[in-house]
Chain A
Amino acid sequence: MDRNRLHNQVASMRRSLFDQGYLDDQFIQLEELQDDTNPNFVQEVVTLFYNDSTRLIQNIEQALNSRPIDFCKLDDYMHQFKGSSSSIGAKKVTNECTAFREYCNAENAEGCIRSFQQVKQEHAILKRKLEVYLQTVRQASQTA
């Protein structure tokens, strides 16, 4: 019962993450890579992402705060950020990154700052959701 409940919970959380566009197919690929030889792959990757992206976010903020703004560097950071977020399937985050890049290319500082807020927001939301989700997954597997 407990196990079933947990499993159901996991399933529905997962479904909603996809339905709401937080995650995309890439996440499924990650899940597929997880197997007996790699039992915690998804968790590892997500953790890695959040650690690394925190650093990137700091860099971006710093770059945005400096004057004059170095758009080239910003673009580089964002390139990496986009790369990693897309690698884990963080759909909304990736989309915000794309929007940011547009502003960056146009050298629109205002736009960049605003867009970056969006990026951070999505990033934080997803982080929370994933944390909960993965925790539930862990619980479900433990009880299994």
Chain B
Amino acid sequence: MTMEEKLGGSNGEDGGRDRFPIGMRVLAVDDDPICLKVLENLLRKCQYHVTTTNQAITALKMLRENRNRYDLVISDVNMPDMDGFKLLELVGLEMDLPVIMLSAHSDTKLVMKGITHGACDYLLKPVRIEELKNIWQHVVRKKKPDSKDQINASNQDKSRGGTGETGPTSSSSDQKVSKKRKDQSEDEDEEGDDNGHEDPSTQKKPRVVWSVELHRKFVSAVNQLGLEKAVPKKILDLMNVDGLTRENVASHLQKYRLYLKRLSSVATQQANMVAALGSKDPSYLRMGSLDGFGDFRTLTGPGRISSASLSSYQPGGLFGRLNSSAALSLRGISSGVIQSGHSQTLNNPINGFGKIQPAVVPANQNQNGTLFQGIPTSINQLSQNKPTNHFGEFNRGNDPNAFGVATNFQDARVTVGGSSNTLPVSSGNPLLLQSNTQQTQHSGGAFGNQPSSLGVTSLNQEPFDMNVRGSSNFLDHGRCSENWQSAVQLSSFPSNALSASETFSHEQLPSNNLQESISWTSSHLSSSPLDLSSSMANPANLEDSRGNISQVGLNNNVIQNIDYTTKQQWGDSRHDYNGNMNNSFSRGDSLVPASGPMMDQSNVISDKMNDVSLFSQFSGDSTYVVPHLDGEKSAFDTKSRSNDDFLFETKPQNGFNQNSFEPLENIMMSMIKSDQNNETPLMDGEFGFDAYSLGSCI
């Protein structure tokens, strides 16, 4: 059967869109002509616009040509030219489109793989029309993460009851994150849905969304009172915000406290890790300090990156690259855990910056999408597939991602900007910061592209903001970029901060857990050897071109909590794989808090949101690890990112193509140079990492 390519659905028919789901544009990929034909007809019967191809490579090309031409992709698992999971990952990372897997076999393992790679759904052949009639929900779900996820997230959070941190906070954090996201991204088109705290009555649920502003006020109020003495009533009075209730503040305070606790424990972990690794560079420590997440308070003053804050700031995300392309989830780079001494590998690649810290890249081992699987508290989250390689590749660009490296986040979900990538979200590492916008989605979809370089440089002034951004970004599934930016920002302490950061670095880890070596940021900062980096220590990715990529075990915080719930992925999830995302988010989708690999894309999303919010709450931390976990989709995507080739058009191999890093580097440089306050364009969601569900893609 020759390839049939009907571009019927290629035009963006407005009419169709309006009558959504009628006219939804689906791209069907299956090498089996019979199945393809039947599927096509079934879809037509559902009144969708169908385009078919029997080659995955063609499908990818078509998608890359114009991702706006399609709303949904349905792909077979077994294809001769490319593995379906890999395609899944790629699509999730690059295009942030929902992907449904099809297979004749219903092996649990395969379904899991789909989830971890970020798939939105997994259908069995023969496909029935009833099942196809509902697939449009995945499109809607992906497009409207804010409102929907908030609701879902809150629901899920409640049911989840998480590990304390994630549980209660997830919902609110989710909202918060989403709210943040909204605030942060001007480009986002989610602004319409403004559930500001100011207007609780308009919200569907009586929930307060802790926006950046709000949180900042909160933090400053807490600081004024002193953490010990901070009581909700007083905080509320100090904040002087309409519509905010004491209960809101109380719960937020609780989360905040937990967050701080987590940070300190992470810091310890990191310190241990560093010690274990024999890190040559103290930058690891620095990473810890740099972490912006941890310390809200410190971030209070713009440009005032107090050591405390810095310490808490764990850029872990730097390792974004760790995900190297496919490594959706930075897994493995769990911050403290660089278990296998992979750190060594890290060192080498990272040379870029002079100080390339031997990022602890333990994670790399996992490369395979199993991010979620057993995301060991330590690192393995980042197991991106190419761990070792990545390190080398981890260019500066990655650094910013280092935030995202979150995959390490084992502990505090501190979503290190870069780390977020790591979130297994299948989408690959958020860290992937690969900032290549094109690439963005590849990393396991974790975070689209985290503009890894972004945040880093601009840290200063509003440390909190930056952090927040990161968090907000998380929420933004698709918009990973934003998150990263913030995350990145965090890492990128402003030049002023750099000096401060240097000091911090000494201070260390204790505060940040995230990634010990935030060195990458330092590179950005140029002035100071800030090791922002990558907390995400993504083992492989950390290649901080910047030079200092102290990849610390990153994300200790962040990732841990996030259980990547592997879902079918999104899968995975698309993802599964989301292990990377700090918060184990499945693909860019909301970080899935501690729920383990993101299992359900939708869940993931909501979870992610939670995580993100969680993070955001605490952090301010800039480093919210990019929630992009695409788990689905996580999954999730388990196809180890070896498929990086696909991921990066430019670079066929290695997960993170070095090229991708370059841009990041440039970005970072520019960021550094640019006013710190300014948001680098990266921030904009350029790098949206795709919430790749469960980046199992490793």
Contact = CB atoms under 8 A, between A and B. Distances in A.
A86 interface: yes
Contact of A26 (B45, B76, B126): B126
Nearest to A47: B34
A79 B1 contact: no
Contact of B31 (A41, A80, A86, A89): A80
A52 B37 CA distance: 12
B125 interface: yes
Given A33-B42, A33-B45, A89-B126, A84 B78 contact: no
A83 B128 contact: no
A76 B32 CA distance: 12
Interface in A31-47: 32-33, 38, 41, 44-45
Q: B1, B104, B105, B128: which has the most chain A beta carbons within 10 Å?
A: B104
Contacts of B38: 29-30, 33, 45, 87-88
B33 interface: yes
A83 B104 contact: yes
Given A38-B41, A79-B105, A83-B104, A29 B34 contact: no
B35 A29 contact: no
Which label, helix, strand, loop or mixed, suits the secondary structure of the B interface? Answer: mixed
Contacts of A41: 41
Contact of B32 (A25, A32, A83): A83
Contacts of A84: 32-35
B129 interface: yes
Interface string A88-119: 11000000000001000000000000000000
Contacts of A49: 34
B1 A48 contact: yes
Contacts of B35: 83-84, 87
A82 interface: yes
Interface string A65-84: 00000000000100110111
A79 B103 CA distance: 8
Interface residues of B, number: 22
A88 B104 CA distance: 13
Contacts of B127: 87
A48 B40 CA distance: 14
A76 B39 CA distance: 20
Interface in B426-481: none
Interface in B13-68: 31-35, 37-39, 41-42, 45
Interface in B89-129: 103-105, 125-129
B688 to A, nearest CB: 34
A26 B35 CA distance: 12
A76 B127 CA distance: 19
Contacts of B41: 33, 38, 41
Contacts of B76: 83
Contacts of A44: 37
A102 B126 CA distance: 19
Given A26-B128, A45-B38, A87-B127, 5 more contacts: A29-B126, A52-B1, A86-B125, A87-B34, A87-B126
Interface of A: 25-26, 29-30, 32-33, 38, 41, 44-45, 48-49, 52, 76, 79-80, 82-84, 86-89, 101
User: Top 9 nearest A-B pairs by Cβ distance?
Assistant: A83-B104, A84-B34, A86-B126, A26-B126, A87-B126, A82-B104, A33-B41, A87-B35, A83-B125
8 contacts: A25-B128, A29-B126, A79-B78, A83-B78, A84-B34, A87-B35, A87-B125, A89-B126
